[in-house]
Amino acid sequence: MKIRIVAVPAGEAPIKVRKEWLGLEMEVDVYMTAALRGASLVGSRSSGVVSGKQVNADNPNEGGYAIPVEVAIRALRSAGKEDAASYWAKANQQGRLVTHLIFGCQFCEVIGS
């Protein structure tokens, strides 16, 4: 399944970085998406990518689509958005990211399965 980012996603990254997702198409990790949605239903939450703090149930990205970090960075680079790609690569190297970025459903359009 693929998604296209159609609205600036919520999150802890600076707005300048979050705007760079607009228009990008990425392959969803359907298994991780399902696992995170299931975990959310029983009260387990994901963490903020910058702070590492657990998010709450009303977080706009909660229950969204899980994209592997490498896939997301590659999409930014392929679109010529090197500054944003570098931001996420640096954050990943500093151990602030886990394996996936989560994009709330309201910021995405499903474009393929």
What percent of the chain clears pLDDT 90, i.e. is strictly above it? 51
Look at residue 77 in the predicted model and tell me its pLDDT.
98
- Range with lowest mean pLDDT among 1-5, 14-18, 78-82, 87-91: 87-91
How far is C-alpha 27 from the geometric centre of its chain's CA atoms? Answer: 11
Task: Render pLDDT for 72-86 as a digit per residue (tens, 0 to 9).
Answer: 999 999 999 999 999
Token pair recorded at residue 53: 């703090």
DSSP conformational letter for 105? G
C-alpha to C-alpha distance for 91 and 18, rounded to whole angstroms:
14
Look at residue 54 in the predicted model and tell me its pLDDT.
53
Average pLDDT, the chain: 82
Look at residue 63 in the predicted model and tell me its pLDDT.
78
Instruction: Tell me the pTM.
Output: 0.82
Look at residue 45 in the predicted model and tell me its pLDDT.
46
Region 14-28: mean pLDDT is 97
Region 10-24: mean pLDDT is 94
Please name the residues in contact with 44: beta carbons below 8 A apart, sequence gap of 6 or more: none
Task: Render pLDDT for 44-97 as a digit per residue (tens, 0 to 9).
Answer: 445 445 444 555 556 677 778 999 999 999 999 999 999 999 999 888 766 555
83, with CB counted inside 10 A (0-12, 13-18, 19+), is exposed
